[in-house]
């Protein structure tokens, strides 16, 4: 027979349990309401209270089997819901920790597996996300949520395929006039690696031969800020975009340790030669970046330096592909793309579609060759490029710049540049003078392409004018020959394709098979092989 004292203790415990249950129920109801109202920070605070109460009861009160089981279920659900709230705030690192705690209690918890899968999908860890959704699909609750689970499974399979193959296609979107839903992109890393660069610090290099238009990289921005910026916008408007962008990057770094670790690998413009060369696998996202000190290193001063050196401005071509007007401007941070150095004879090109940057070869690239793109307009003379490079904080010493800087006839080129800048001369005579000069100077091969690219403005005006072509056409090289030589050194460009198209129209060969293939190759250099021929023809206006 139990004593009176024992019975009183049991009754007290039952009362305490009942009070705890009532308090817990009130907290759960309040937290659920906050979660549904999208007041995530407040709901996180309540779920944290529930977690503390459960953990304290389990560790100090030695609950019996039934009560322990109940506490563990409550604890598991609280971790799961807090993970959901944190994920909505993009606090992915903390959210994943909560998911792991919940799954440690119940390894097949449906809601947690779904939440973890969505977080991993957001972090571009497609295989790991797919495993979560497959596990969730085995739970009986999946039958009640078939469309949701199946939707995530199909999306994961699609993204995993795209990240493995790079088989992107934006044709339908282009043909629709950029209306409707924007294409979905997965992160993709092609035949590239990071190595020490002779240009500056570290660079991205091709690991095999690739032809013009080959997709090399698709990556999503850490952060991007955009606005319509009319040409008469003052400096203050630019500063507003820059401040908003900095705030977004800082917020992303705070919320995700992986993002912070990756940003910290970038150069801040100092001691670039001593920086470690990261393995390209770090950027494949299938395993979490391990770095215990990254967040400490990423102080505000260093981050400002990193953004100053590595931020990328969305260009006019991207604005066209996005269907935006000419005043549209954007700036963003795409970490892996930040390893691509500048050259005035670039071999890759980028397109910005949504928050993704798509990088492809703009001309044929050999294995081991460093990938470079233009930070500014390279269809301009050496002095203009020098000024633009100065604004970016560096002096370009690419093969083209060295060639133009060291040639013995640079005084004559400077005179041609001055005449071009004044715009008071017949452009045909200027082109003729340059071509005759190259003949006298015995300029061969790429040297001709370099100089023609530098004075492209003059060539385009001549080739675009029937009057000038009647006057100068027989005294200067054919447009197609000039186009080939310029593309060989700077890759494809819309302005070059425009000259090519105008030449075809004048010659009546726009419907020829050879001309069509030539135009398609030029188009692939601008837009890459991410679209079908009909979409390419639309963009090229065949």
Task: Kindly report, residue by residue over 354-395, the tens digit of the pLDDT.
Answer: 889 999 999 999 999 999 999 989 999 999 999 999 988 889
The answer on 196 and 119 residing in a single domain is no
Q: Residue 230 falls within a domain, yes or no?
A: yes
Neighbours of 390 (CB within 10 A): 11
Residue 368 φ then ψ, to 5°? 90, -10
More confident residue, 177 or 200: 200
Band of the pLDDT at 9, cuts 50, 70, 90?
very low
Q: Residue 207 falls within a domain, yes or no?
A: yes
Band of the pLDDT at 319, cuts 50, 70, 90?
very low
Strands 372-373 and 341-342 come out as parallel
2's tokens: 């139990």
Band of the pLDDT at 519, cuts 50, 70, 90?
confident
Q: Can you give the residue range of the structural domain that contains 485?
A: 382-540
Measured CA to CA, the distance from residue 129 to residue 117 in angstroms comes to 4
CA distances from 376 to 124, 227, 424 (A): 31, 20, 26
The answer on 441 and 494 residing in a single domain is yes
The pLDDT value recorded for residue 17 is 56
The answer on 340 and 215 residing in a single domain is yes
DSSP 8-state assignment for residue 103: H
CATH of the domain at 248: 2.170.270.10
- 95 has pLDDT over 90: yes
pLDDT tens for each residue of 332-341: 999 999 999 9
- % the chain with pLDDT above 70: 88
Q: Residue 8 falls within a domain, yes or no?
A: no
- 291 has pLDDT over 50: no
Give me the number of domains the chain comprises. Answer: 3
Q: Residue 5 falls within a domain, yes or no?
A: no
Band of the pLDDT at 510, cuts 50, 70, 90?
low
The answer on 422 and 366 residing in a single domain is no
Chain CA centroid to CA 344, Å: 22
Band of the pLDDT at 318, cuts 50, 70, 90?
very low
CATH of the domain at 19: 1.25.40.10
More confident residue, 133 or 512: 133
Measured CA to CA, the distance from residue 448 to residue 434 in angstroms comes to 10
pLDDT tens for each residue of 147-189: 889 999 999 999 999 999 999 888 888 888 777 778 888 999 9
Contacts with 406 (C-beta within 8 Å, 6 or more apart), sequence order: none
More confident residue, 538 or 113: 113
Measured CA to CA, the distance from residue 188 to residue 168 in angstroms comes to 10
The answer on 419 and 286 residing in a single domain is no
More confident residue, 335 or 506: 335
pLDDT tens for each residue of 388-405: 999 888 899 999 999 998
Band of the pLDDT at 94, cuts 50, 70, 90?
very high
Range in 235-239, 299-303, 492-496 the model is least confident about: 235-239
């Amino acid at each position: 027979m139990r004593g009176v004292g024992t019975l009183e203790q049991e009754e007290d415990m039952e009362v305490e349990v009942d009070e705890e249950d009532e308090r817990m129920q009130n907290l759960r109801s309040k937290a659920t309401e906050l979660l549904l109202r999208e007041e995530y920070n407040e709901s996180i605070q309540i779920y944290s209270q529930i977690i503390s109460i459960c953990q304290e009861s389990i560790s100090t009160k030695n609950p019996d089997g039934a009560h322990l089981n109940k506490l563990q279920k409550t604890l598991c659900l609280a971790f799961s819901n807090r993970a959901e709230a944190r994920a909505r705030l993009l606090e992915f690192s903390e959210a994943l920790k909560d998911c792991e705690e919940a799954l440690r209690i119940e390894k097949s918890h449906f809601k947690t597996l779904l939440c973890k899968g969505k977080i991993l999908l957001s972090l571009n860890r497609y295989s790991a996300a797919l495993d979560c959704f497959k596990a969730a699909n085995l739970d009986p609750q999946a039958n009640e949520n078939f469309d949701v689970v199946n939707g995530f499974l199909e999306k994961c399979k699609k993204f995993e395929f795209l990240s493995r193959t790079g088989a992107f296609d934006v044709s339908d979107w282009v043909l629709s006039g950029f209306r409707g839903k924007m294409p979905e992109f997965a992160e993709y890393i092609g035949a590239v690696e990071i190595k020490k660069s002779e240009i500056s610090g570290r660079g991205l290099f091709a690991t095999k031969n690739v032809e013009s238009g080959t997709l090399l990289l698709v990556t999503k921005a850490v952060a991007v800020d955009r606005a319509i910026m009319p040409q008469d916008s003052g400096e203050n408007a630019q500063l507003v975009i820059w401040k908003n962008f900095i705030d977004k990057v800082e917020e992303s770094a705070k919320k995700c340790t992986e993002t912070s670790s990756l940003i910290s690998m970038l150069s801040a413009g100092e001691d670039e030669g001593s920086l470690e060369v990261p393995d390209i696998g770090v950027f494949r996202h299938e395993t979490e970046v391990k770095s215990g000190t990254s967040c400490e290193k990423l102080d505000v001063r260093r981050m400002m330096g990193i953004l100053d050196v590595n931020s990328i401005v969305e260009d006019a071509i991207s604005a066209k592909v996005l269907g935006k007007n000419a005043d549209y401007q954007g700036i963003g941070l795409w970490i892996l793309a930040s390893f691509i150095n500048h050259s005035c004879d670039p071999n890759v090109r980028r397109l910005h579609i949504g928050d993704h940057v798509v990088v492809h070869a703009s001309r044929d690239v050999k294995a081991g060759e460093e990938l470079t793109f233009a930070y500014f307009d390279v269809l301009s003379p050496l002095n203009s490029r020098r000024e633009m490079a100065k604004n970016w904080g560096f002096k370009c010493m690419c093969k083209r710049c060295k060639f133009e800087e060291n040639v013995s006839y640079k005084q004559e080129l400077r005179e041609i540049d001055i005449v071009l800048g004044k715009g008071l001369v017949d452009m045909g005579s200027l082109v003729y003078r340059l071509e005759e000069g190259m003949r006298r100077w015995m300029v061969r091969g790429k040297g001709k392409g370099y100089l023609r690219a530098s004075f492209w403005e003059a060539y385009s005006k001549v080739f675009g004018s029937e009057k000038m072509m009647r006057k100068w056409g027989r005294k200067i090289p054919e447009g197609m020959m000039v186009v080939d030589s310029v593309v060989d050194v700077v890759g494809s460009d819309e302005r070059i394709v425009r000259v090519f198209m105008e030449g075809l129209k004048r010659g009546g060969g726009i419907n020829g098979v050879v001309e069509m293939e030539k135009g398609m190759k030029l188009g692939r250099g601008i837009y890459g092989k991410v679209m079908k021929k009909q979409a390419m023809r639309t963009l090229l206006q065949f």
